[in-house]
């Protein structure tokens, strides 16, 4: 059973969105560990209460930034689903970046990043092919002339 090009695109979009969510969840999990934060920040401040408040602000800011990232990615995935060429170009480059981040996580931390690594590789193949097809389709269309 082989999938059509549209089914492959939809699967790539869903899987890449899933990979984005899992990587964001991993980042949040790593950053939400207060013990790790205190080890990294050291005893910079005299007041542990103030340090905990700063940690809360940093965590809220990071949570907002990660949610904003996910919303932006979701919008790009919708645009790609609607066959916007620029969305496929962005996703092609983002799949390379996601592949690099997942590879870094796999090599340094855990094998948690192996599944997103494979998904981003699959996504890059599908997005690059879709971008190439949309570009060829746009070049083959006759240019409309607008009367002056």
pLDDT 10s per residue in the chain (148 long)?
Answer: 477 878 888 888 888 888 888 888 888 888 888 777 777 666 666 677 777 888 889 899 999 999 999 999 999 999 988 888 888 889 888 888 888 888 888 888 777 778 888 888 888 888 888 888 888 887 777 665 555 4
Look at residues 62, 79, 77 and name the one whose alpha carbon lies nearest to residue 19.
Answer: 77
Residue 32, H or E segment: none
What is the predicted pLDDT for the residue at 63? 93
- Secondary structure string (H, E, C) spanning the chain: CCCCHHHHHHHHHHHHHHHHHHHHHHHHHHHCCHHHHHHHHCCCCCCHHHHHHHHHHHHHHHHHHHHHHHHHHHHHHHHHHCCCHHHHHHHHHHHHHHHHHHHHHHHHCCHHHHHHHHHHHHHHHHHHHHHHHHHHHHHHCCCCCCCC
Question: What b/e sequence results for 85-110 when a residue is b if at least 16 CB atoms lie within 10 Å of its CB, and e otherwise?
Answer: bebbbbbbebbbebbebbbebbeeee
Position 115 scores a pLDDT of 82
What's the pLDDT score for residue 50? Answer: 77
How confident is the model at residue 148, as a pLDDT? 47
Q: Where are the domains of the chain?
A: 5-138
Enter the pTM of the model.
0.77
């Amino acid at each position: 059973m082989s999938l059509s090009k549209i089914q492959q695109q939809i699967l790539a979009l869903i899987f890449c969105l899933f990979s984005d969510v899992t990587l964001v969840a991993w980042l949040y999990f790593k950053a939400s560990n207060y013990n790790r934060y205190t080890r990294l920040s050291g005893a910079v401040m005299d007041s542990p209460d103030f340090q905990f408040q700063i940690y809360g602000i940093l965590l809220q800011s990071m949570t907002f930034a990660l949610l904003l990232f996910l919303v932006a990615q979701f919008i790009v995935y919708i645009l790609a689903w609607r066959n916007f060429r620029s969305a496929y170009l962005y996703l092609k480059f983002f799949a390379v970046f996601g592949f690099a981040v997942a590879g870094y996580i796999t090599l340094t931390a855990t094998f948690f990043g192996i599944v997103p690594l494979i998904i981003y590789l699959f996504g890059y193949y599908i997005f690059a092919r879709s971008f190439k097809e949309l570009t060829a389709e746009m070049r083959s269309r006759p240019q409309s002339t607008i009367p002056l």
